[in-house]
């Protein structure tokens, strides 16, 4: 097994970055990196893929840039979607090893995405409907 693997990041069909990634430790086990396909539970689109040559790719439920928690229709049924995750983000709020594998082009995109989202958030009035969890009977 190689010491380094080639990782490809695609946003929809467009290549964002190619980089080299190494193995990582999980407790006492040295593991090979893996890929993730980002699946939006609203539009059913795989809006990003991070693949690692010769390694398996997992599926991650994550809202695309066009959809977010406010678009919910029974959000509780989406299972493992991180509700605090920025729509369209490749960042993980719980996996620092994953984040360390994101190359500069992906980090730059994360920064721009965060700024755009926060600007949008600042310009939106806060209504009770924007809050989570929804009120019963609403």
Pick from 42, 48, 52, 86 the residue near Zn ion by CB under 5 A.
Answer: 42
Binding status of residue 62 toward Zn ion by CB under 5 A: no
At closest approach, how far in Å is the CB of 30 from Zn ion? 36
Binding status of residue 40 toward Zn ion by CB under 5 A: yes
**Shorter beta-carbon distance to Zn ion: residue 24 or 117:** 117
Pick from 9, 64, 69, 106 the residue near Zn ion by CB under 5 A.
Answer: 64
Angstrom CA distances, 65 to 19, 27, 35, 71, 83, stand at: 24, 34, 20, 12, 14
**Shorter beta-carbon distance to Zn ion: residue 52 or 69:** 69
Binding status of residue 115 toward Zn ion by CB under 5 A: no
Binding status of residue 43 toward Zn ion by CB under 5 A: yes
**Shorter beta-carbon distance to Zn ion: residue 9 or 48:** 48
Residue 52 CA to residue 49 CA, distance in Å, equals 10
Pick from 48, 62, 67, 109 the residue near Zn ion by CB under 5 A.
Answer: 67
Assigned token pair, 128: 């009770």
| Binding interface with Zn ion (CB under 5 A) | 40, 42-43, 64, 67
């Amino acid at each position: 097994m190689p010491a380094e693997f080639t990782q490809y990041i695609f946003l929809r069909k467009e290549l964002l970055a190619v980089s080299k990634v190494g193995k990582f430790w999980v407790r006492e086990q040295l593991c090979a990196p893996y890929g993730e396909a980002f699946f939006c539970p609203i539009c059913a689109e795989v809006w990003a893929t991070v693949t690692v040559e010769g390694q398996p790719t997992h599926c991650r439920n994550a809202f695309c840039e066009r959809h977010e928690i406010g678009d919910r229709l029974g959000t509780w049924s989406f299972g493992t979607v991180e509700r605090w995750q920025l729509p369209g983000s490749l960042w993980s709020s719980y996996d620092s090893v994953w984040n360390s594998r994101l190359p500069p082009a992906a980090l730059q995109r994360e920064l721009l995405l965060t700024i755009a989202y926060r600007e949008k958030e600042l310009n939106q009035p806060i209504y009770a409907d924007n809050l989570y969890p929804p009120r019963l009977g609403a």
